[in-house]
Homo-oligomer: A and B are copies of this chain.
Amino acid sequence: MSIAEAGEFGLIGRIVSRLGSGSATLLGPGDDAAVVRAADGRVVASTDVLVEGRHFRRDWCGPEDIGHRAAAANLADIAAMGATPTALLVALCVPTGLDVTWAEGLADGLSAEAGLVGATVVGGDTSASPTLTIAVTALGDLGGVAPVRRDGARPGDVVALCGRIGYAAAGLTVLSRGFRTPKLLVDAYRRPDVRYPAGPEAARLGATSMIDVSDGLLQDLGHIAEASVVGIDVRRDSFEPPAQMLDAAKALGVDPYVWLLAGGDDHPLAATFPPGVTLPEHWRVIGSVLDGAGVTVDRKPWTGGTGWDHFR
């Protein structure tokens, strides 16, 4: 059945029936607005939009995958403030000829990814559109801690990373060259594996700044460097790319460090910590904060490309 046949309320009904309920949800979908617990007295909020052909392709990802990706991009932003996500709101614009099962799959993916952190989809809106577009807003709770911003890094701090990096970018290259394997990389592009609890953990460990790496490590560290008025140096030897990535890079004639340093979509968290901090193993130290400006790799400028501009 197409979405045109299901109608607006038919579509909404089908989506809502697939959403779970969360402990922070005081009033879920079905009214003018949702009501979400904000016990902290503050709410963290972020919006990210995915546009077909620019952020995803339906022949590369199923609807559940795209739901996971759309949710992850937003939930990671909440985690990067040191907060725990509580709720998602979704604006879904769809061509009317699309099958309703696609929208149901998307709802399943959004709901499942949110469920990883106990959050739920509490509301949203739908419209017909020639361009399939998914705008997600995530809300989160700071649990009494100060938000970890981008502007607190200080010379001498260590730079650490939590979560996979380069995998999704490698998967995207693989898919764009017409391949479907290695599965590790393609799956990483389809469904990010984000360490959400590492956000609040970093806040507790005294992180001086933090960011969700969504557009490429060097570009996103550049935002921290600019906001904090510092320089950041990243060490190439701090990365241990998996064999599948090195093999794929060789086969495709790509420098794997372009994936690692400039690739997006994995959503690891990058944070700076005071010198001498003891970090859990899943936070890997990858560099240091310096006096100066900009981001270097082994103290040299990087010339291999830097992330995405969504209008180029």
Contacts and interface: CB of A to CB of B under 8 A. Distances in A.
Interface stretch (A104-112, A117-125, A175-183, A296-304): A117-125
Given A93-B131, A127-B310, A309-B7, A34 B46 contact: yes
A164 to B, nearest CB: 18
B125 A81 contact: no
Contacts of A81: 31-33, 35
A77 B43 contact: no
A242 interface: no
Contact of A123 (B46, B51, B127, B149): B46
Nearest to A80: B32
Contacts of A91: 47-49, 91, 135, 137
A39 B212 CA distance: 27
Interface residues of A, number: 74
Interface string A26-44: 1100111111111111111
A310 B210 CA distance: 40
A47 B137 contact: yes
A28 B130 CA distance: 32
Contacts of A11: 311
17 contacts: A9-B309, A31-B81, A32-B80, A33-B77, A34-B45, A34-B46, A36-B42, A36-B44, A37-B42, A38-B42, A41-B41, A43-B139, A45-B87, A46-B89, A49-B91, A126-B310, A131-B131
